[in-house]
Amino acid sequence: MRIDTPAGSILCDPWVNPAYFASWFPFPDNSQLDWETLGDCDYLYVSHLHRDHFDAAHLKRFVSKKATVLLPEYPTSQLEDELRELGFTRFFKTVSDEVHELDGGLKIMIQALTSPTDGPIGDSSLWVEHDGIRVLNQNDARPTDLSTFAALGHVHAHMLQFSGAIWYPMVYELPSVAKTAFGKQKRERQFDRTFRYIDDLNASWVFPIAGPPCFLDDQLWHLNDIFGDEGNIFPDQSEFISEYAKVGKTNGVVLLPGSVATIGQTDCATTHPTDVGAFFAQKENHLKAYAERQRIVIEREKASWSHPEIDVLAGMKAQIEPLLEESVYLAKGVGGPVRFDLTDPDGVVVESIVVDFPGKEVRIYDDEKVRYRFQTERRLIEHLLHIGEGDWVNSLFLSCRFTAARIGQYNEFVYAFFKCLSEERLQYAEGWYESQRPDAEDITIGGWTFQRRCAHLKADLTRFGIVEGNQLTCQLHGWKWDLASGRCLTAVGHELRSAAAEARPDA
C-alpha cells in the first residue's frame, strides 16, 4: 500500500516476490503494477521482518534509496541492518507510541510490539495524519487494544488483517473432520478479532488488507480458499465483506492492486483497475493463470534448496546446542523432546533427529515419546543451515511445507525457541519472559548486587556480565553501566537496578 499526502508519500510493506520457500504469493497478483513509479516514494515503512512484508529483492530493485525509512522502535537492530544492507541510508527512528511531526505537517506514530510472540520478535502499526485526515495501517499487528490510536482523534481509514497467516491447523496430522472443525473455529476467531479491532477504533472506512496469501505450488494448491471448505483459514477480501455485512456493517472497502481510495473527512472515493465483483467471481481462473506464470519461479527456487553435502545432525547440533545450554524459560516451557523427521522429496523419512530440551542436546531420535513431531523435507533444513537462518518460523514453519503432530496443548515456547536460533534473539526472548515475572531476579558479582538481565537486550548477566571496580560490562554487545548509580554509560536510558552488595544484608 502507498499512502500519498500533499506532504509526501509513504510506501508500506511492498511485497511482490514469493516468501517462505516459494509457498506464499501476494493475492491478487501485484507484479504488473508500475513499481518504478510506486517505489519512487518519500518514505518507506516496513512493519516487520516477516518475508511477506520485507521483500528484500523488491526493495533493492524498485524502492528509491533516497526514501527515508520510518523505523519502528525494536529491541534489536536487525530490521535496520537488513535495510542498510539493501542500500537504504536515511532512517527516521521513531519512539513507540509517540507522535512525530515530519516535513509539511505530516504526522506519524508507529506502535512497536516486541514480545517474542509478536511477529519475528517485533511487529508494528503505522498511524498517519495530514490535514485532519487520519489513517491507521494496523497491518497484521495484534496490540491488546487500539486506545492509543483512538486517543489521537477520529480515524478515517483503518487498514487491517482479517485472514489467516499461520500453518494451523492445516499441517497437523488430524482426521479431516477434526481439522475442518478446528479450521472453522480459527476462521471464526479471525473474523471476531478483526471485528473487535474495528469496533475499538470505529473508523469511517475499513480496508481488509495484509492477506490472505495464495499458494501456487501444486503441493500447496489445496490451501487456497476456492473449494468451499468452511475450515479454510485463508478467506479473501470478498468473504470478509460478506461476513462483515452479517454484523450489520457497510463501511468495508476492498482494494485490488492498482485501486486508489481517496479519503476525505466525509467521503471515500475509490477507483479500481477492474470490476471487483467480477474479479472475485473469477478467482480460481486468476489463480490458475498466476500459477502458470510463476511455475518457473517456483522450480528455480526449489532447485536452490538442496545441499546434500551438509551433515544436518552436525549442523543442528552446532547451531542449537549452545542455545539450549543458555535457555532457561524457553527450554523449560517446551519441557520435552521435539522430533524432526526429515524426508526425501518423495516423502520417505531418511533421518530422524531430536532436539532434546530437558537433556539440552540435539541427537538421533531414540524411540522415545516426544512433545512435538515435525516432518519436512531434508533439503529445507539443509537450506536453513546453509544460509544460517536464525528464525525457522520466518522460513520453514510459515512455508507450511511440513506436517506436525503434538501431545497436549499448543506450546508457544516451541515456536518461540525456533524463531530465536541466534544468541541475540535467544537472550532477548529469555529476558522478556523473565521480565514478565513480578520479582525479576537479582545476582551478586564482584561486590555488587544487580538485576540478572541486561538492561539493553536482556542478556543473562551471570553469563555475559563482567564487573571491574564499579563498572559492569555486558559482553553480548559490550555496553557498560556504572553500578553505583545504575546509569548506562553507553546509551541514554537503560538504567540498571544495582546496589553495593554490603548495603544489602540479604544479598
Chain residues binding ligand FES by CB under 6 A are 454, 456-457, 459, 474, 476-477, 479
Nearer to ligand FES, 323 or 457 (CB): 457
Q: What is the DSSP string of 86-124?
A: TT---EEE--TT--EE-GGG-EEEEEEE-STTSTTT-EE
Burial per residue of 453-490, b for 16 or more beta-carbon CB atoms within 10 angstroms, e otherwise? bbbbbbbbbeebbebeeeebbbebbebbbebeebebee
Nearer to ligand FES, 83 or 476 (CB): 476
Pairing of strands 361-364, 349-356: antiparallel
DSSP 3-state percent helix, strand, coil across the chain (nearest 5): 30, 25, 45
- Least gap, CB of 81 to ligand FES (angstroms): 15
In the block, residue with C-alpha cell 537503560:
494
Nearer to ligand FES, 206 or 457 (CB): 457
- Least gap, CB of 255 to ligand FES (angstroms): 41
Alpha helix (H) residue ranges in 267-368? 276-281, 283-303, 312-326, 329-334
Nearer to ligand FES, 43 or 479 (CB): 479
Nearer to ligand FES, 10 or 426 (CB): 426
For residue 480, give the H/E element and its range. strand 479-482
- Least gap, CB of 194 to ligand FES (angstroms): 36
Point out which residues pair with 261 in neighbouring strands. Answer: 270
Count of beta carbons in the 10 Å neighbourhood of residue 133:
16
Contact 500, 465 (CB under 8 A): no
Q: Coil, strand or helix: which one is 178? A: helix
What count of Cα atoms within 13 Å lies in the side-chain half-sphere of residue 110?
23
DSSP 8-state symbol, 68? E
- Least gap, CB of 418 to ligand FES (angstroms): 21
Nearer to ligand FES, 371 or 477 (CB): 477
Cell of 94: 521513531
- Least gap, CB of 331 to ligand FES (angstroms): 19
The widest CA-to-CA distance across the chain, in whole angstroms, is: 77
Q: Where are the beta strands (DSSP E) in 123-221?
A: 123-130, 133-139, 157-161, 205-209
Nearer to ligand FES, 232 or 427 (CB): 427
- Least gap, CB of 486 to ligand FES (angstroms): 14
- Least gap, CB of 457 to ligand FES (angstroms): 4
End-to-end CA separation in angstroms for the chain: 55
Nearer to ligand FES, 419 or 453 (CB): 453
- Least gap, CB of 473 to ligand FES (angstroms): 8
Nearer to ligand FES, 307 or 477 (CB): 477
C-alpha–C-alpha distance, residues 231 and 244, integer Å: 18
Nearer to ligand FES, 112 or 454 (CB): 454
Count of beta carbons in the 10 Å neighbourhood of residue 137:
25
- Least gap, CB of 426 to ligand FES (angstroms): 11
- Least gap, CB of 427 to ligand FES (angstroms): 6
Nearer to ligand FES, 41 or 457 (CB): 457
Q: What is the 3-state secondary structure (H, E, C) of 383-433?
A: HHHHHCCCCCHHHHHHHCCEEEEECCCCCHHHHHHHCCCCHHHHHHHHHHH
- Least gap, CB of 203 to ligand FES (angstroms): 39
